[in-house]
Chain A
Amino acid sequence: MPPTLFGNQSTGIPPSGAEPVRIEYIPQQGLGVIAITNFLLNLITLSFYRFWAKTRVRRHIWSSVQVNGEPVEYTGTGKELFFGFIIIMVVVFLPLALIATGLAAYFGPESAAVVAFQLVAGLALVTLYGFAIYRARRYRLSRTVWRGIRGALPGSALSYSGKYFGSLLLGPMTLGWSTPAMNLILAEHITNDMRFGNMPFNFSGRSGPLYTRYAVCWFGTMLAYLVIAGFAIALFYSGAFDGLQKAFDAIGSETASSSGSETALVFTIFAAVIVLYLLYVTIRSTIWSFYTARELNVFAQYTRFSGASFEFNATAWSLITLWLGNMALIIFTLGIAQPFVEQRIMRYFVERLSVNGAIDFASIQQSKAELDKRGEGLIDALDLDAF
């Protein structure tokens, strides 16, 4: 269905004054063609087409989102993403690679110098995670235009990055219990920095309401691990691992002669590891979607924009089916359907989000924030890109 701006002309667009906000996802034709051509082009360019591929998908998906009948527009380009990637490669990754190679050449590939450097470089990269996330959000917001006005994130990526790193450190130290509080701090930081035009978003609230749900999920996960561990121990004492040990011994020794059954066993072990991993991920994701749903809803409640408030209707079950559907799409199409996964995610958020209250859009002025010429290099290079 094409955007019909003039369909509701009889009601007329008020020249000024507050409007209620209606946000909807109206699928457009053509995503299948984009998916297939992107896949093929990524294949023949060894994935270097991905910057343009992403851009095409975003253009399509963004334009399917309509706010008060007006489609949202993605104005980013593949070239901007490509140069973002090149810059990061040259400025961050090339020096690291040169130093690592030099150290390995001089002190030997397994030397302490190489290990120490990798540790330091790895840690340095982790401190960049928050930076990458913030900068990517900034790029996307600045390339999102609605009614001629673009989004912005003019704050400091560095201070966000500090908080993000803190949350990464605290997570394991508190066995995860810092997660709700830290997630709130991060959401608060980034949402308060967000603008549509010159109009800021506001976020305020406490993490208390998240903790009941967190506790339930945390103990639920522990229980699941205990059950799995118990199962593994039972298997161990039943002698199922004896054959496995033998197989590993056989693989380890050089003089061993291969036999068909051995190959089959290795294959079985490999398949079992994959199945176990998928099972683990599924159990984990299922349990934690109860928490994620709560967090999404609470964070939406805490958000305000120009007198309007937000409501999000996430449920654990809907998140699980979203996730399972996405997994199935990826697995059964070998990744070709990735754009549809992104569409499903966008659709989920758009369709479950409602805006209460009215916004005076005419009073919103264009953002004065400067437009970056490049984008998302770091998040691409660090492979953190979720969307």
Chain B
Amino acid sequence: MTTTPHNAEFFDGGSAMARLAHVRVEGHALVIVQTGAPDVHWPLKNVEMVFGGKPGQALRLKLHGDHGSRLTLPEGSAADAVVAAAPSLLSGHKRRFWKGVGISVAVVLGIGVAGYATLAVTPQALARFIPDDVVNSFADGLEKSVIKSSKRCDAPAGQDALNKIARRIVSGTGDPPVFSLRVFDIRQSGSKKLVNAFALPGGRMVFSAGLIENAGSADEVAGVLAHELGHVALRHPEAAIVRVYGLQMLLSLFTAGQGAEGIGNIAGVLAVLQYSRAAEAEADAYAIEVMEKAKVDPKGLQSFFTRLLKKKSGIDTAKKEDDSISLRKRIEPFTDLFSTHPGTDDRIARLKPRAGGTEPAILSATEWRALKAICK
């Protein structure tokens, strides 16, 4: 039994009994001398501070990895001696704080990268693996929301002319994707005719009657068709479906599957069917290549673009107020392939006229008139 005066209180982690102890630093260890129990040696490098270290505060220590034993030194010379022997004790809290910050920041960055991969990289790669059933059910829904109750325009002579344009464009592809092409008299709110073309999943192309009526030549229609065929060939609509499901996966991950109906519906697809600038550029490049091979002048697409852009900006400034309200109007820009986002000028500039123009002409004057009358 030692008679050393105690300068600390020790809990050995075995029982809740408080033991008075004498503590001293000996080399690289803390030696805890208790009354009526064997001495305890704590290697200084494994000693951690629970609290204390500030003036006027007792110093509480524990041993790393030991969930029980605790040593408390009142403010004073013994505590000072321990801190002097192991100065890193005081920085332990800071280290722990920055570790937490580091891990959580890393997690967020990791999720960001994973999210980017889900939205930007994988959809294209996974697009070909979506079962036809899924593609078709989506296409049905999308078609309904695009066409609504519009009248189908299929005057036989007009449809023949359209098919002729399609055949001409297809002749420029090595391996054309499967697609269908139909015209509908789609109206905007206020029964204004919509000027647009859509590439829906499963190769379903829809042209609005307004587009045909606005076109100045068969070359223009052919250019739009080539562009849409680019989306179809590159599986952009299918990639949009993958993107919707990727987002939905994330959503339902945080809601334990309860958010499945959340965005996996038509509105969700519409929202992500807005092709990225990169996708539009890809479709343009495809169109340019195909037109080149089919000997169709890209100038048609260019002039169509320019005309549409002018018209659109005119409408936009005139009817700004009207634009902000209707749900339909809010969705339209997303599916609008000629939306006036920055970069449109670049796209137009990239469409160089073909030396010699379109040869031979795609449609005869009669066929062109028939196409214009496809809705009659």
Bound-state Cα–Cα, A197 to B13, Å: 10
Q: Which residue of B lies closest to A119 (CB)?
A: B258
Chain A residues near B190 (CB, 8 Å)? 255
* Contact call A52/B101, Cβ cutoff below 8 A: yes
Chain B residues near A100 (CB, 8 Å)? 252, 257-260
Instruction: Report the interface size for chain B: residues with CB under 8 A from the other chain.
Output: 64
Supposing A101-B248, A106-B134 touch, asked if A5 and B72 sit within 8 A by C-beta, the answer is yes
Q: Which of A43-51, A240-248, A319-327, A346-354 contacts B (4 or more CB under 8 A)?
A: A43-51
Known: A5-B9, A96-B256, A117-B260; 11 extra A-B contacts, CB below 8 A, are A3-B58, A46-B111, A48-B111, A77-B96, A93-B257, A146-B16, A196-B16, A258-B325, A362-B17, A365-B15, A366-B14
Chain A residues near B75 (CB, 8 Å)? 2
* Contact call B68/A2, Cβ cutoff below 8 A: no
> Does A32 interact with chain B (Cβ within 8 Å)?
no
Count, A-B residue pairs, CB within 8 A: 185
Bound-state Cα–Cα, A121 to B257, Å: 7
Which of the residues B17, B131, B249, B260 comes within 8 Å of A16, measured between beta carbons? B17
* Contact call A110/B265, Cβ cutoff below 8 A: yes
Q: Mark B99-122, 1 if CB is under 8 A from A, else 0.
A: 111011101100100000000000
Chain B residues near A148 (CB, 8 Å)? 11-14, 16, 68-70
Q: Which of B49-57, B158-166, B291-299 contacts A (4 or more CB under 8 A)?
A: B49-57
Chain B residues near A13 (CB, 8 Å)? 9, 18, 20
> Does B67 interact with chain A (Cβ within 8 Å)?
yes
Bound-state Cα–Cα, A78 to B97, Å: 10
Chain A residues near B107 (CB, 8 Å)? 45, 48, 82
Which of the residues A55, A94, A145, A364 comes within 8 Å of B253, measured between beta carbons? A94
Name 18 A/B residue pairs within 8 A (Cβ), A-sorted. Answer: A2-B56, A3-B58, A4-B58, A41-B101, A45-B105, A46-B108, A48-B104, A49-B100, A51-B100, A51-B104, A52-B103, A100-B252, A100-B260, A101-B249, A101-B260, A105-B264, A108-B137, A147-B11
Chain A residues near B259 (CB, 8 Å)? 100
Q: Which residue of B lies closest to A150 (CB)?
A: B67
Bound-state Cα–Cα, A255 to B97, Å: 56
Q: Tell me how far the C-beta of A63 lies from the nearest C-beta in chain B, rounded to whole angstroms.
A: 6
Q: Tell me how far the C-beta of B89 lies from the nearest C-beta in chain A, rounded to whole angstroms.
A: 16
Residues of A within 8 A of B (CB): 2-6, 13, 15-16, 41, 44-46, 48-49, 51-52, 55-56, 63, 70-71, 73, 75, 77-79, 82, 89, 92-94, 96-101, 103-106, 108-110, 114, 117-118, 121-122, 125, 145-150, 196-197, 254-258, 361-366, 371, 381-382
Supposing A5-B74, A48-B107, A52-B104 touch, asked if A109 and B17 sit within 8 A by C-beta, the answer is no
> Does B346 interact with chain A (Cβ within 8 Å)?
no
* Contact call A109/B260, Cβ cutoff below 8 A: yes
Chain B residues near A2 (CB, 8 Å)? 52, 54, 56-58, 75
> Does B77 interact with chain A (Cβ within 8 Å)?
no
Bound-state Cα–Cα, A41 to B137, Å: 44
* Contact call B261/A104, Cβ cutoff below 8 A: yes
* Contact call B11/A109, Cβ cutoff below 8 A: no
Chain B residues near A121 (CB, 8 Å)? 256-258
Chain A residues near B326 (CB, 8 Å)? 254-256
Chain A residues near B100 (CB, 8 Å)? 49, 51-52, 55, 78-79
Chain B residues near A16 (CB, 8 Å)? 17
Q: Which residue of B lies closest to A37 (CB)?
A: B97
Bound-state Cα–Cα, A278 to B16, Å: 47
Bound-state Cα–Cα, A13 to B21, Å: 13
Supposing A92-B256, A150-B67 touch, asked if A362 and B264 sit within 8 A by C-beta, the answer is no
Bound-state Cα–Cα, A336 to B108, Å: 21
> Does B3 interact with chain A (Cβ within 8 Å)?
no
> Does B352 interact with chain A (Cβ within 8 Å)?
no
Supposing A147-B16, A148-B12 touch, asked if A97 and B134 sit within 8 A by C-beta, the answer is no
Chain A residues near B325 (CB, 8 Å)? 256-258
